[in-house]
Structure 1
Amino acid sequence: MADTATASDARPPKSVVYCGVCSLPPEYCEFGGTTKKCAEWLEKAHPALYTALYSSEALSQNLSSLSVDAQKRAEKDAQKKAAKAEAAEARESEKRATSKVIIKRVERNKRKHITEISGLEHFNVDLKKAAKEFGKKFATGSSVTKTASGGEEITVQGDVSDEVLDWVVEKYNVPEDNVEQIEDKKKEKKAAPPMVAPQPT
């Protein structure tokens, strides 16, 4: 019969810290491309672990175990990754600055309206989740629909364009200058001129 481990032999599970930025264990953050942000997060959240990994003594000890060529390669790789991360962040912030959220009030029938919201995806908003939040917030139907150009927008039943503007600015931190309201009215059909019978001459 096989020996079974007793309760006293069992080891407690090991707790692992995961980075709040890249979700890797802090020892592997350097491979995620956001090392600088990860280090800042670790310093605030776990100061002891930060000291163990990023103190000048720890870094010099890690580098001393590498050959001179490997040290140079490691420094170059770290600089490249940091430059790429900074460039990506700059592109993202520039894209946000120029992006617009368009809130359109569309007339369906004489008294019925819908509100269409497009452009939220440029501000890293999950459209499906946002559609549910709009539905709950305004107690109305809300869904994600495809646009004619191939993109996606959120359609909310009812005329809630002013409320949506306030909610987008407050909830999703979209600058008010980047939000545009449009009203889309149906063109009224012009009545045909009355038919006049020709007068006999």
Structure 2
Amino acid sequence: MSGETATDNVPGVSSESQARNVIYCGVCTLPPEYCEFGGTVKKCEEWLEKYHPDMHEKLYSDDALNANLSALSVDAQKRAQKDAAKKEAKAALNEQRESERKAAAKVLIKRVERNKRKYVTVVSGLEEHGLDLKKIAKELGKKFATGSSVTKTASGGEEITVQGDVSDDVYDWLTERYEDIPEDNIDCIEDKKKKGAG
């Protein structure tokens, strides 16, 4: 039994393992055959047509769709069309809500006085726009040649703290670099520490 594998004696199974090349959708991350269950079918279909036209033809050509529909009864066809319409409407509604949420999300740039005219600039609200805070903190540190880090807030969120008074420069940089954030949604405020009596 030395040198034999479990599949050596099974008829029809080769002992060599065969690797499969599985394509995953760039939109919903499911294999394209299962995109219909992801809720973003239209976008998935557009992605597949752009990056894998041969597979798109196999799954979405008129012949393929008709073959799939003809296998269903008339009632099942109607249900499938209704379900597809519902999923598409739900995906469109979710997309609209997401864009409204992003449009309403505020980005606050605070100039905070620490002590004896030393300042830090705190940027909050960027995560609402789907941005990677660690990446932006690193970019800000390089841009202004200063320390920059992501810190937790008392409410459980995250914000970027940049050493120095660079609030106006950060405002200009954000409006130039991230044009999808409406300029009206970026506010600069000043937060002074109260001086103790003494």
TM-score by length of 2: 0.82
Shift, 1:39, TM fit: 0.6
Partner of 2:165 in structure 1?
Answer: 159
Aligned partner of 1:194 in structure 2 is none
Counterpart in the other structure of 1:51:
57
Residues in 1 aligned to 2:54 and 2:126: alpha-carbon distance in whole angstroms: 39
Among 48, 72, 80, the residue aligned to 1:74: 80
Q: Distance in 1 between matches of 2:139 and 2:131?
A: 12
1:11 Cα deviation after fit: 5.8
Structure of higher CA gyration radius: 1
Tell me the equivalent position of 1:35: 41
Unaligned runs of 5+ in 1: 192-201
RMSD value, Cα:
2.5
Query: What is the TM-score when the length of structure 1 is the normalising length?
Result: 0.81
Q: Deviations over 1:88-118 (max 9, x none)?
A: 1000111111211111111112331101111
State percent identity of aligned pairs.
68
Q: Secondary structure at the match of 2:98?
A: helix
Shift of 1:181: 1.1
Shift of 1:124: 0.8
2:108 aligned counterpart, secondary structure: strand
Match for residue 189 of structure 2? 182
Partner-residue secondary structure (3-state), 2:20: coil
Cα distance between partner residues in 2 of 1:166 and 1:130 = 14
Higher deviation after alignment, 23-32 or 161-170: 161-170
Give the SS at the match of 1:182.
strand
What count of residue pairs does the alignment treat as equivalent?
A: 189
After TM superposition, list the pairs within 5 Å mapping 1:115-134 onto structure 2: 115-134=121-140
1:24 offset after TM fit, Å? Answer: 1.0
